[in-house]
Amino acid sequence: MNTLVTGAAFGAALTVSGVYQPSVIVSQLKFENWHMIQAFLTAAASSAALVHLLQTLSPTTFPLPPRSYSSISLFSRYDGNLLGGILLGTGMMLSGACPGTVLAQIGTGVRSGFYALEGGIIGGIVFTGFVGPWITKRNAAAKARGEGENSKELTKTVYENLGVSRSSVLVAFEAICASVVVSTALWTSVGPEAKISPVVGGLCIAGAQLLSLLLRKNLVGTSTSFEEVGDWFWGIFKGKTLPQRYNNLLFVSGCVLGAKLLTVAYPALGQVTEVAVSPVAAGLGGFLMIIGSRMAGGCTSGHGISGISLLSTSSFLTIGAAFGAGALLGLLRG
């Protein structure tokens, strides 16, 4: 029940913040509207402060290890994060969605969201059946050749890599987020999608993160649910024992439900600003963003809000690659 409630809170927070709208995502990647960045950085910075506070007060209750790197043994221990991030950002620009916001789009009835979800489900099936096993084989072969990484290096953080204290990196991160949010709020305007301030919306997302920590002792994330769908598909298709994990599916079901209930109670929050996203672009984008997020080990919620709050190096690289690739595609598409 806690998982469903937490998912509903997260879906409602994405909806009230307005970042679920395709127009917000596409216009941000084109640098035409800074609504998404303001909400995202507020959520990430607030989550980082909350995580630090809870871990300081009760480290045994909230161990929360940093995100490990994701390698596909091509050129770097972080190559999966970088290449996966590129695919994730490309998919976001094409579909006007991410693995988390697509759930709010379903709950609010955004048409392109259904095509993106279909592409994402196919992506989860393809990743589980083909891409994931291929990555596993590559990493096993690299380890056999003596090229694998030592297990002690699996969860490197930014402050560990820099050789400084966690607090100093946290303060610097908070300052950077605050400066970007304040400057863009002062010097740019947001569109009609902003029913409330993007900063308030970001705080709502951080509030859902806090609820997840208190109820589940875990951080939010959505893309793993698509991998779970793939596991169930291949289990049925091959006649094997069905997987026992379904918590992530329960969480994302809550996201859809939370978005739906919120827009029923407050219809204005479900008013979508139209943006041209074709069914083909939405489906392809959904496929790419799930392949990419699973390759990277997380998406804009799992890496972007949760992983960054732990100051994980892999999360900063994944999200940086995603925004960079999405922005480049936005520039090319005009």
Block residue for tokens 């190096």: 313
Comparing 270 with 326, the larger pLDDT belongs to: 326
SS3 312: strand
Distance separating alpha carbons of residues 120 and 125, to the nearest angstrom: 9
| pLDDT range class, residue 151, cuts 50, 70, 90 | very low
Distance separating alpha carbons of residues 51 and 64, to the nearest angstrom: 9
Comparing 257 with 144, the larger pLDDT belongs to: 257
Whether pLDDT at 270 is above 80: yes
Whether pLDDT at 245 is above 90: no
Comparing 150 with 245, the larger pLDDT belongs to: 245
Q: For the chain, what is the mean pLDDT?
A: 94
Q: Which of 215, 203, 7 shows the shortest CA–CA distance to 100?
A: 7
**Contact in structure between 294 and 127 (CB atoms under 8 Å):** yes
Distance separating alpha carbons of residues 86 and 292, to the nearest angstrom: 7
pLDDT for 2 equals 94
| pLDDT range class, residue 241, cuts 50, 70, 90 | confident
Under DSSP, the state recorded for 151 is G
SS3 114: helix
Contacts of 74 (CB under 8 A, 6+ apart): 83, 138
Distance separating alpha carbons of residues 208 and 205, to the nearest angstrom: 5
| pLDDT range class, residue 154, cuts 50, 70, 90 | low
Distance separating alpha carbons of residues 307 and 313, to the nearest angstrom: 9
| Tokens (6 digits) for 181 | 């949010």
- pLDDT tens-digit series, residues 133-143: 999 999 999 98
Q: pTM of the predicted model, to two decimals?
A: 0.96
Mean pLDDT of 246-272: 95
CA-derived radius of gyration, the chain? 19
**Contact in structure between 96 and 275 (CB atoms under 8 Å):** yes
Whether pLDDT at 43 is above 50: yes
Distance separating alpha carbons of residues 56 and 61, to the nearest angstrom: 10
Distance separating alpha carbons of residues 10 and 256, to the nearest angstrom: 9
Classify the C-alpha dihedral 263-178-22-281 as positive or negative. negative
Distance separating alpha carbons of residues 313 and 330, to the nearest angstrom: 26
Whether pLDDT at 114 is above 70: yes
Q: What percent of the chain has pLDDT over 70?
A: 98
Mean pLDDT of 150-156: 58
Whether pLDDT at 12 is above 50: yes
Q: Which of 273, 166, 295, 161 shows the shortest CA–CA distance to 227?
A: 295
**Rounded to an integer, what is the distance from CA 2 to the centroid of its chain?**
20
Mean pLDDT of 239-248: 80
Mean pLDDT of 65-74: 94
What is the identity of the amino acid at 130? F
Q: What percent of the chain has pLDDT over 90?
A: 87
Q: Which of 217, 201, 289 shows the shortest CA–CA distance to 12?
A: 201
- pLDDT tens-digit series, residues 193-218: 899 999 999 999 999 999 999 999 99
pLDDT for 153 equals 54
Mean pLDDT of 212-227: 96
Mean pLDDT of 23-37: 96
Whether pLDDT at 220 is above 50: yes
Distance separating alpha carbons of residues 287 and 297, to the nearest angstrom: 15
